[in-house]
Structure 1
């Protein structure tokens, strides 16, 4: 009830303004009596993923809490994990505003944020100051916009060096459509070079800190079947720990009738549901049980989540569906997942 009222107010403002108001509201009320408006008990439904135990299968996708300002607040909502970022080595403002647009009739969002964040050092400080309990913290890393693509690998290694100590897992974002040229890192020698370098650094850091932090690759939903197979081969060849599918799409199928469809950026929400599920199914055909899949894209109901689990995802993340449906979606998916696992 409270979320619906808050949503009505926030939806009267521009999308990014509403996002900032929500983040500030959660940050200021976490740990206070006012957190009762979003705090909820979600039943335990432990999931083993990439060697890490998650308290339940529902996570918050990257992009909502880029700077890790509200980790404890989102943990209080019942998320099994919170993926913060995308973070870059140096702070950057992102693309010019406006850069986020609601497509309410389609229950979707288009964004071209451009990795706006306060930098990796700020994020690490916020994670160290957090106390999320059993909720796992994932860190999504990227490269600065002004770093040449051929030097992009170095940005990912810088971020890995700095977040390794505080991360439950690390997600490598090479699939955002909003940083020029970034998606080229998904192909051929550049992908192999990046993955092999990350795995080598992971081994060095595991030895240094005495703990193994898994690394997953986040991919786009717009890959052809051949490109997807090549990505899978690279993941297996370089022994990555997992894959996150998918990021936002450049497709506008299903929203062509809406004025906002012409805005540049990645589309998320309901129009992405089927596409991301199809990508997960194809990934599972190539990877089987060798590499676990984290499903994300257009999840707005327990059925959406279970459709992804049924084709091969081990866990799921929500973002746009969370904006439209509220924290109750976390509990509803967890209950459905728990019931399905019990009936297997």
Structure 2
């Protein structure tokens, strides 16, 4: 049994959100050592990713453990989601393990200390790979398009790429921004904001796996029409597969982990078909093994991202995937 396998029962005996905070603290203390493994490097929008395995946003919302996360082997680390102003998120409890299903449900609600505080940490952090910053809007915002433009503009000064996250199910009304013409307005404003001293910082768009086929096609066309550099597919799902066994499956929020695998595969195929090769697609959702990571890449994904699988497989999963690749 791995070291993580021995440690996991103790972590699972702790409240999930507290266990998460302890993990971030441990990674912050550990820091990072050496270079990120170069395995099948990929170039997107002029950025060379040393390997195609990235950390999805949500684990390190405030950019506290960047060096430690690169130390796990990730070719890219995406922090956030960050909002213009600090916000506490939704009431606790808001994070739930579905151990029988190797899944997680969360309704965190973009809890973060605000983009300004995070960017101060980013400026001081050691980077061994590509750093992405994921931005969102404040829950009580009167102008969410302005929130995104502000976040993109600030993040673009320090990030290798910036992700616009309109896919979270835990901020009321946020997913409405995935539809045209609202999405075109948002992307147009973000396109202006991403220009920093004459440099066009790469901009990615993250969409939900719950969009139907027409919704995916509309989002892809909007991304292409507005010069977005890559599409991240997707985020957590509000759907609940009939196969779920855990009593926590009825909790409100977004479902991630192994049960998302089939849906994520389908949506990757839809996004690739809609883009027709014009837009790199990054696969997220249910990637919990070297075989699954390889399958998504072979299906056409430019990169893969993971997060929930670390809860069940441990930090060694990243290097196991890289070894398989």
Shared fold per TM-score greater than 0.5: yes
* Aligned counterpart, 1:145: 139
> Normalised by the size of structure 2, how large is the TM-score?
0.96
* Aligned counterpart, 1:340: none
1:301 and 1:333 in contact (8 A); partners too: yes
* Aligned counterpart, 1:341: none
Q: List per-residue Cα deviations over 1:149-171 (Å, max 9, x = no partner).
A: xx101001111121111101001
Partner residue of 1:192 out of 184, 191, 200? 184
- Unaligned residue ranges in structure 2 (runs of 5+): none
Residue 237 of structure 1 pairs with residue 225 of structure 2: yes
Residue 101 of structure 1 pairs with residue 96 of structure 2: yes
Q: List per-residue Cα deviations over 1:134-191 (Å, max 9, x = no partner).
A: x11100000001013xx10100111112111110100100010000110000012111
- Structure 1 residues 115-154: aligned runs within 5 Å: 115-133=110-128, 135-148=129-142, 151-154=143-146
Alpha-carbon distance change, 264 to 213 in structure 1, aligned in 2, over 3 angstroms: same
- Distance across 2 between alignment mates of 1:156 and 1:256: 35
- Per-residue deviation, 1:40: 9.5
Greater Cα shift, 251-260 or 241-250: 251-260
- Structure 1 residues 220-231: aligned runs within 5 Å: 220-231=208-219
- Distance across 2 between alignment mates of 1:235 and 1:30: 36
- Distance across 2 between alignment mates of 1:255 and 1:130: 42
Alpha-carbon distance change, 54 to 29 in structure 1, aligned in 2, over 3 angstroms: same
**The residue matched to 1:272 in structure 2 has which SS?**
helix
Residue 305 of structure 1 pairs with residue 293 of structure 2: yes
- Per-residue deviation, 1:306: 1.8
4+ long deviations beyond 4 Å: none
**The residue matched to 1:188 in structure 2 has which SS?**
coil
Alpha-carbon distance change, 332 to 132 in structure 1, aligned in 2, over 3 angstroms: same
- Distance across 1 between alignment mates of 2:149 and 2:73: 31
Q: List per-residue Cα deviations over 1:293-317 (Å, max 9, x = no partner).
A: 1111010001211221122211001
Alpha-carbon distance change, 88 to 14 in structure 1, aligned in 2, over 3 angstroms: same
- Per-residue deviation, 1:132: 1.6
- Per-residue deviation, 1:256: 4.2
Alpha-carbon distance change, 6 to 92 in structure 1, aligned in 2, over 3 angstroms: same
- Unaligned residue ranges in structure 1 (runs of 5+): 338-344
> Normalised by the size of structure 1, how large is the TM-score?
0.91
Partner residue of 1:155 out of 131, 142, 147? 147
- Distance across 1 between alignment mates of 2:30 and 2:225: 46
- Structure 1 residues 286-297: aligned runs within 5 Å: 286-297=274-285
**The residue matched to 1:78 in structure 2 has which SS?**
coil
- Distance across 2 between alignment mates of 1:12 and 1:96: 21
Residue 54 of structure 1 pairs with residue 49 of structure 2: yes
- Per-residue deviation, 1:10: 0.9
* Aligned counterpart, 1:168: 160
Partner residue of 1:320 out of 284, 308, 316? 308
* Aligned counterpart, 2:266: 278
RMSD (Å), alpha carbons: 1.6
- Per-residue deviation, 1:255: 4.5
**The residue matched to 1:44 in structure 2 has which SS?**
coil
* Aligned counterpart, 1:24: 25
2:240 and 2:255 in contact (8 A); partners too: yes
- Distance across 2 between alignment mates of 1:167 and 1:43: 21
- Per-residue deviation, 1:225: 0.8
Greater Cα shift, 246-255 or 137-146: 246-255
Q: List per-residue Cα deviations over 1:76-101 (Å, max 9, x = no partner).
A: 11110100000000000000000000
1:284 and 1:311 in contact (8 A); partners too: no
2:54 and 2:76 in contact (8 A); partners too: yes
1:113 and 1:178 in contact (8 A); partners too: yes
